[in-house]
Chains A and B, each alone.
Chain A
Amino acid sequence: MAADTVFGSSHVLDSSSSTSSHPLSPGAGVVPAIENVVSTVNLGCTLDLKAIALHAPNAEYNPKRLAAVMIRIKEPKTTALIFSSGKMVCTGAKSEQQSRLAARKHARIIQKLGFDVKFNGFKIQNIVAAYDFTFPINLIRLANSHFKFSVYEPELFPGLIYRMKQSKIMVQVFSSGKIAIAGAQKRDEILKAFENIYPILMSFRADK
């Protein structure tokens, strides 16, 4: 599948196939860069968190604050939260394959500590991507014209939060021209959201 290749270089993909009639649609190869992938997996057995915390050097376990062990590995640079029920959350990876690889590495660590782990139900829960438009965006104007989708409360958060009606994807737009797309479970959801928001923001570009 074409989606397996590293994101930035995908040029065959759908970014130009749909809504290409719009003059402001993103050209070929203009795609946001994925910054974070969050995934969960079930290791299939109960775990003794104290034993894990004591045997691994980069494990943190503060039972009063959170009932899970936090283990970090260097390659791919990720953090995993491991619960006593055997479920694990893996965050910090830069792509879906890396997230899977990292989850497997974490599971292997637990396996070496003597637990009978499996790798059930690996699922990507959230993908976060970022993109830089390199021109300033007037958030007030965006909030006025797209009031149905945008929430802009400068007292609470400096960015404007744009939620599409048809999907549950959320885009944060900042006045510096950078955006963050979050809430997707698959890569093409991100691409679709990006395609929707790109012409809107390009039309706001001020000609100096």
Chain B
Amino acid sequence: MVYCNNCSRNVTGERVYDGPLCCTFCGKVLEEYNFASEPQFVKDSAGLSKLSGNFVKSVQDISDSRRRTLDKAFDDMRCMKDALSIDDYSDDVVETARRFYEIALERNFTRGRRSELVQAACLYLACRQKKKPFLLIDFSSYLNINVYELGSVYLQLCYVLYLAETRDLQKLIDPSIFIHKFTNVLIPEGNDEVVKTARDILASMKRDWMQTGRKPSGLCGAALYISALSHGLKCSKSDIIRIVHICEATLTKRLVEFENTDSGSLTIEELTEKEKELRTSSLTKKRPNTGSKEASIHEVLCKHMEKKPFAYGLCEECYEEFMKVSGGLDGGSDPPAFQRAEKERIAKLSIEENAKSVSGSPFASGSEKPENIGVSEGATNQAAMDERDNDKLPGVDGSDDESDNFSDIDDFEVDGYLHNEEEKHYKKIIWEEMNREYLEEQAAKEAAAAAAKEASMANYDKCPEDLQAAQELAAAAAEVVAKSRKERQQKRAAEAKKAGPAQTAAEATRRMLDRKRLSSKINYDALEKLFDEPVAPEKPKKQRNESHSDEKEEKVSKMGKEEGDLVDKYDDDNDEEGDEGGTFDNNLDFENEVYDYEDDYEYDGF
């Protein structure tokens, strides 16, 4: 990390081609030494030339491919960091993420998971550790994946990295770190007053326990909204929603909850005053009242093992941290979730009381009473049924005497669960209508299976024309049916295994094209004519194919493609279904060219 006085901060320098060291952000040249990397020779005292330096045993502890994977991951993470503008000036975060990724690789965590998911999870973890204000939702919207999917990968990563075991308080997100970021997005010029008020509002929310169980972004959004409005800035709810990634209903709910707390009725000045007081009073560091029920703890629960417990089983430092993150345990102690639960409980109690009073009186009048009677009847039915349960199943401890005749089940009831003829008829019509596509697929599958069977039967009879016709029919039907990608892949894999190496270049090319899924755009007849020469298959394939490949190169280059690397790629045999067909993707995109080519070029043959 070197200091760049243009950016006026420490940056990761980048040294290009062993030359000058430049700032990665603004490009200013910071150091200008040129380094040579050839071996140097010096003359020793006797006048003999010797190599300067020592021989060092090569320390290649990881294989080439592993290094490639890591480098690729590093690059991807850097792109992600830039896209989300996590840290424009240095690669610190990405370095940390890279180390996590290395460990994850070693523990085989990347197997079976998309690498971008693992990279995003590592990067998010690094952001959390460095307290950068970035949410999981930012990452998931960049990658276009479900946030819960990314979340589960992140949790598994924490487990794999043994982070659950470490006594690390910092793992929990403090919503206040987001205020600065969100304010800057809302008001590009920046506004310190708004930030301060929003922080105060958030601190009071924390004390009132609005924070437990909630996404930090929701609280920040509400605090920011209130603070911006109170400073006279025009911002609407939709602005906040856009920045903070929550929906309007949530924002309204948070605002209502804040309104219901004590601090909600204060004006801004009163709120600021109160917060200032609390902050100064907490500086005296008095020990909080832990309550009588908590057992005395002699050792700390946090990671600072040698310190003595200050409060709640934490040492002083961690206690301060805890208070900052959560707002402490005194005060409101009334999370809105608990308030809602209380309300429901009271409502239920009142219903029960009504029911009791009603069941006392013989007649029920009034509209709400039948409901209550329903409730109480339901309760008595339940109790009665339970008793019946116990009577009915005396031998329920694992014995299967009545297993097969089900004589204990009430037949009348079960009959009620079955259709009569008319109902069956209608249901059949309805179901077939609703599931028409599925039925069509099934019919096509069966037709293909039948055709294939016929083909194999015809094969048995050894009749050439019928064989061909049946084969074509089977092939066509199979083509129609194999719509789903999986089936196609499986078919391809099976065919590749069965068929063995290609007999001619044409076949090899066709196979490769099939595999690369360009088949709909290739004119196979033209392809056939491409290699239409009186080739005896006994001739050594290698020579053939090399000359073929040369010819092919010429043709393709004549087609006016700029891919010069085709020449290089086509060096190997065409027999192997290798990767050299990759460049073909670019070349054979246009149907017309293939056709034109067929007309214009005359194959000279050998």
- Mark A residues whose CB is within 8 Å of B: 1, 4-6, 24, 50, 53-58, 61-64, 71, 73, 75-76, 95, 97-98, 100-101, 104-105, 107-109, 111-113, 117-120, 132, 134-141, 143-145, 147-148, 151-156, 158-159, 174-178, 202-203, 205-208
Closest CB pairs A-B (n = 6):
A158-B213, A176-B337, A175-B212, A136-B338, A176-B341, A156-B151
B322 & A111 in contact (Cβ 8 Å cutoff): no
B409 & A97 in contact (Cβ 8 Å cutoff): no
B212 & A155 in contact (Cβ 8 Å cutoff): no
B213 & A54 in contact (Cβ 8 Å cutoff): no
Neighbour of A101 across the interface among B293, B392, B427, CB < 8 A:
B392
A57 & B427 in contact (Cβ 8 Å cutoff): yes
Neighbour of A203 across the interface among B209, B295, B337, CB < 8 A:
B295
B291 & A58 in contact (Cβ 8 Å cutoff): no
B293 & A205 in contact (Cβ 8 Å cutoff): yes
Q: Could you say which residues of chain B place their CB within 8 Å of the CB of A1?
A: 397
Question: Among B18-26, B64-72, B400-408, B567-575, which stretch is in contact with chain A?
Answer: B400-408
B396 & A97 in contact (Cβ 8 Å cutoff): yes
B215 & A141 in contact (Cβ 8 Å cutoff): no
Closest to B344 in A: A176
Q: Could you say which residues of chain A place their CB within 8 Å of the CB of B417?
A: 56-58, 71, 73, 109
B164 at the interface (CB under 8 A from A): yes
B565 at the interface (CB under 8 A from A): no
Within the assembled complex, what's the spacing in Å between the Cα atoms of A153 and B583? 46
Q: How many residues of B contact A (CB 8 A)?
A: 78
Closest to A62 in B: B435
12 residue pairs of the A-B complex, CB under 8 angstroms, read: A101-B389, A118-B404, A132-B345, A135-B338, A136-B337, A147-B168, A152-B172, A153-B151, A154-B215, A175-B213, A175-B335, A207-B292
Within the assembled complex, what's the spacing in Å between the Cα atoms of A14 and B588? 75
Within the assembled complex, what's the spacing in Å between the Cα atoms of A98 and B211? 40
A104 & B325 in contact (Cβ 8 Å cutoff): no
A57 & B423 in contact (Cβ 8 Å cutoff): yes
Question: Among B7-15, B223-231, B326-334, which stretch is in contact with chain A?
Answer: B326-334
Closest to B302 in A: A144
- Mark B residues whose CB is within 8 Å of A: 135-137, 147-148, 151, 154-155, 164-169, 171-173, 209, 211-217, 291-295, 301-302, 312-314, 318, 322, 325-326, 329-330, 333-335, 337-338, 340-341, 345, 385-386, 389-390, 392-393, 396-397, 400, 403-404, 406, 408-409, 411, 413-415, 417-419, 423-424, 427-428, 431, 435, 437-438
B213 & A159 in contact (Cβ 8 Å cutoff): yes
Q: Could you say which residues of chain A place their CB within 8 Å of the CB of B215?
A: 154-155
Within the assembled complex, what's the spacing in Å between the Cα atoms of A2 and B385? 18
Q: Could you say which residues of chain A place their CB within 8 Å of the CB of B173?
A: 154-155
Neighbour of A134 across the interface among B216, B340, B345, CB < 8 A:
B345
Neighbour of A147 across the interface among B164, B337, B427, CB < 8 A:
B164
A105 & B314 in contact (Cβ 8 Å cutoff): no
Closest to A147 in B: B167
B438 & A155 in contact (Cβ 8 Å cutoff): no
A145 & B313 in contact (Cβ 8 Å cutoff): yes
B389 & A109 in contact (Cβ 8 Å cutoff): no
Q: Could you say which residues of chain A place their CB within 8 Å of the CB of B293?
A: 24, 202-203, 205, 207
Neighbour of A207 across the interface among B135, B216, B291, CB < 8 A:
B291
B209 & A136 in contact (Cβ 8 Å cutoff): yes
Q: Could you say which residues of chain A place their CB within 8 Å of the CB of B334?
A: 136
Within the assembled complex, what's the spacing in Å between the Cα atoms of A55 and B424? 6
Q: Could you say which residues of chain A place their CB within 8 Å of the CB of B216?
A: 154-155
Neighbour of B418 across the interface among A62, A97, A113, A136, CB < 8 A:
A113
Q: Could you say which residues of chain A place their CB within 8 Å of the CB of B155?
A: 151, 153, 156
Q: Could you say which residues of chain A place their CB within 8 Å of the CB of B337?
A: 136, 158, 174-176
A139 & B212 in contact (Cβ 8 Å cutoff): yes
Q: A56-B417, A63-B435, A203-B293 are in contact. Are A144 and B338 (CB under 8 A)?
A: no
Q: Could you say which residues of chain B place their CB within 8 Å of the CB of A156?
A: 136, 147-148, 151, 155
Within the assembled complex, what's the spacing in Å between the Cα atoms of A109 and B169? 56
Q: A100-B396, A151-B155 are in contact. Are A139 and B406 (CB under 8 A)?
A: no
Within the assembled complex, what's the spacing in Å between the Cα atoms of A112 and B416? 11
Within the assembled complex, what's the spacing in Å between the Cα atoms of A111 and B404? 10
Q: Could you say which residues of chain A place their CB within 8 Å of the CB of B212?
A: 136-140, 154, 175
Within the assembled complex, what's the spacing in Å between the Cα atoms of A188 and B142? 46
Q: A154-B216, A176-B335, A206-B330 are in contact. List 15 more A-B contacts (CB 8 A).
A: A101-B389, A104-B408, A105-B413, A105-B414, A111-B406, A112-B414, A119-B404, A134-B345, A136-B335, A140-B211, A140-B326, A144-B302, A148-B164, A155-B147, A176-B341
Q: Could you say which residues of chain A place their CB within 8 Å of the CB of B167?
A: 147
A145 & B301 in contact (Cβ 8 Å cutoff): yes
Within the assembled complex, what's the spacing in Å between the Cα atoms of A4 and B392? 12
Within the assembled complex, what's the spacing in Å between the Cα atoms of A167 and B120? 32
Closest to A44 in B: B404
Q: Which of A5, A132, A154 has the most CB of B within 10 A?
A: A154
Within the assembled complex, what's the spacing in Å between the Cα atoms of A208 and B292? 12
Tell me, rounded to whole Å, the shortest Cβ–Cβ distance linking A207 to chain B: 5
Within the assembled complex, what's the spacing in Å between the Cα atoms of A115 and B418? 14
Closest to B124 in A: A155
Tell me, rounded to whole Å, the shortest Cβ–Cβ distance linking B335 to chain A: 4
Q: Could you say which residues of chain B place their CB within 8 Å of the CB of A145?
A: 301, 312-313
Within the assembled complex, what's the spacing in Å between the Cα atoms of A42 and B388? 26
Q: Which of B293, B415, B428, B438 has the most CB of A within 10 A?
A: B293
A53 & B431 in contact (Cβ 8 Å cutoff): yes
Closest to B322 in A: A144
B389 & A97 in contact (Cβ 8 Å cutoff): yes
A148 & B165 in contact (Cβ 8 Å cutoff): yes
Q: Could you say which residues of chain B place their CB within 8 Å of the CB of A151?
A: 155, 164
Closest to A58 in B: B417
Within the assembled complex, what's the spacing in Å between the Cα atoms of A50 and B215? 45
B393 & A100 in contact (Cβ 8 Å cutoff): yes
Q: Could you say which residues of chain A place their CB within 8 Å of the CB of B418?
A: 55-57, 109, 112-113
